[in-house]
């Protein structure tokens, strides 16, 4: 929200953080939508938008190193704990956290450039 912006601080990092959080929220929404089976037909516009969003996400994730995209997928999208992601990937918990942080930062930068 604009009210959260502090004019004494740089604008770009504030905006990048908002973009990053909005992106993570979008990823969660897309993942939940994939998990739920829909028993009714979607309007064509919604289906096309969903496909376009999925393609965009796949492209963004493809630009990340595998360790970063997997850590983000497990923790931020699937909602698993850091410990569960650590066990699943074979990385230490610290490395999972670092990969999430770096991956989200990289995604925010890619979105900002777009």
- Going by C-alpha positions, the residue among 111, 106, 5, 108 that lies closest to residue 64 is 106
C-beta atoms surrounding 5 within 10 Å: 12
- At 64-78, the pLDDT tens digits run 999 999 999 899 888
pLDDT tens digits for range 4-13: 777 788 877 8
**Residue 95's pLDDT band (cuts 50, 70, 90):** very high
Domains identified in the chain and CATH numbers: 9-35+45-113 (1.10.10.10)
Angle at Cα 71 formed by Cα 68 and Cα 73, nearest 5°?
Answer: 105
């Amino acid at each position: 929200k604009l009210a959260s912006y502090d004019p004494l601080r740089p604008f770009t990092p504030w905006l990048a953080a908002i973009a990053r959080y909005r992106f993570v929220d979008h990823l969660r929404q897309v993942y939940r939508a994939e998990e739920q089976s829909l028993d009714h037909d979607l309007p064509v516009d919604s289906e096309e938008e969903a496909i376009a969003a999925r393609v965009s996400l796949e492209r963004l994730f493809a630009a990340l190193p595998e360790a970063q995209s997997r850590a983000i997928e497990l923790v931020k999208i699937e909602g698993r704990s850091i410990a569960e992601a650590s066990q699943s990937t074979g990385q230490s918990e610290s490395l999972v956290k670092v990969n999430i942080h770096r991956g989200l930062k990289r995604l925010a930068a890619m979105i900002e450039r777009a």
